[in-house]
């Protein structure tokens, strides 16, 4: 089946930039998403990108997509302690079809 | 917009009892709702997909007689865990989407503990 891979853990200092990487295998992926999950909570949609885009920026968040290599990244500028959470990469072949999730990257931001 | 709620947020029950979890879309019509299960430090596992007014489609390995899903209206889906056992203890998350939505929107999750 289709697969989405992420590194499991990232630790950064407050104020630094964080880059979370994700690779996927489905060449028919149309939508790629980043979700944030805080402890004991559901998933919050952070941002998404269509497969015909290379980059999307939304305030402190920048998503880069390399469709050829099937590589997606999320950059968080000026990372804050409140950004500490688990970040999930997900892909779908249409906007509301079945999502395939990565296992999540735990981001720990230290003061 | 695109708010999804779940109730209850956490529930503790005795082994052998049934538990119902509600998922509501508050500000849009959810033509499709999804139920996920999340184990500690694991990704989300899709359990089933339900379209309003239709029977749910269960993923392989998910017992449909144990996890009853009803999606009777465009704003409400329920998951009933029947004859719950300790191994059913988990974090259950629903999501919803509808016409014109660009993704699934997730509820806050329900923590189930079966003693």
Average of pLDDT values for B8-18? 96
- A1 pLDDT tier (thresholds 50, 70, 90): low
- Give me the percent of chain B exceeding a pLDDT of 90: 72
pLDDT of residue A26: 83
How many CB pairs below 8 A link A and B? 52
Min Cα distance A3 → chain B (Å) is 12
Residues of A in contact with B4 (CB under 8 A): 42
Residues of B in contact with A89 (CB under 8 A): none
Residues of A in contact with B108 (CB under 8 A): 41-42
A21-56 per-position pLDDT tens digit: 999 988 888 889 999 999 888 899 999 999 889 999
User: Least CB-CB distance to B104: which of A96, A103, A104?
Assistant: A96
| CA distances in angstroms from A78 to A16, A17, A59, A105, B58, listed in the order given | 5, 5, 11, 18, 42
**Terminal-to-terminal C-alpha distance of chain B:** 37
Average of pLDDT values for B6-24? 96
8 Å CB contact of B44 and A44 = no
8 Å CB contact of A43 and B93 = yes
Residues of B in contact with A99 (CB under 8 A): 34, 46, 103-104
pLDDT of residue B68: 96
Q: What is the mean pLDDT of chain A?
A: 91
Return the DSSP state at A79: -
Average of pLDDT values for B13-34? 94
Euclidean distance between CA atoms A18 and A11, whole angstroms? 8
Average of pLDDT values for B79-104? 91
Task: For Cα atoms A37, A38, A40, give the angle at the middle one, nearest 5 degrees.
Answer: 105
Check whether B36 has a pLDDT greater than 80: yes
Min Cα distance B109 → chain A (Å) is 5
**The token pair that represents A2 in the structure block:** 């289709």
Min Cα distance A37 → chain B (Å) is 9
- Give me the percent of chain B exceeding a pLDDT of 70: 99
Pairing outcome for strands A71-76 and B19-25: unpaired
pLDDT of residue B1: 65
Helix (H) and strand (E) counts in chain A:
0, 11
Check whether B100 has a pLDDT greater than 90: no
B88-97 per-position pLDDT tens digit: 999 999 999 9
Min Cα distance A89 → chain B (Å) is 10
């Amino acid at each position: 089946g289709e697969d989405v891979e992420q590194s499991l853990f990232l630790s950064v200092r407050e104020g630094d930039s964080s880059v979370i990487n994700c690779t996927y295998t489905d060449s028919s992926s149309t939508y790629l998403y980043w979700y944030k999950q805080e402890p004991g909570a559901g998933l919050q949609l952070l941002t998404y990108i269509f497969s015909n885009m290379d980059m999307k920026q939304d305030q402190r968040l920048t998503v880069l997509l390399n469709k050829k290599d099937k590589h997606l990244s999320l950059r968080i500028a000026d990372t804050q302690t409140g950004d500490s959470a688990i970040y999930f990469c997900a892909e779908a072949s249409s906007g509301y079809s079945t999502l395939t999730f990565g296992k999540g990257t735990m981001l720990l931001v230290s003061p | 917009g695109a708010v999804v709620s779940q109730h209850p947020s956490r529930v503790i029950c005795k082994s052998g009892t049934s538990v119902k979890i509600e998922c509501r879309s508050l500000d849009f019509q959810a033509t499709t709702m999804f139920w996920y299960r999340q184990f500690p430090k694991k990704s989300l596992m899709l359990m089933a997909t339900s379209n309003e007014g239709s029977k749910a489609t269960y993923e392989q390995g998910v017992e449909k007689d144990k996890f009853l899903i009803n999606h009777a209206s465009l704003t409400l889906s329920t998951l009933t865990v029947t004859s719950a056992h300790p191994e059913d203890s988990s974090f259950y998350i629903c999501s919803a989407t509808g016409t014109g939505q660009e993704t699934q929107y997730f509820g806050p999750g329900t923590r189930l503990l079966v003693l």
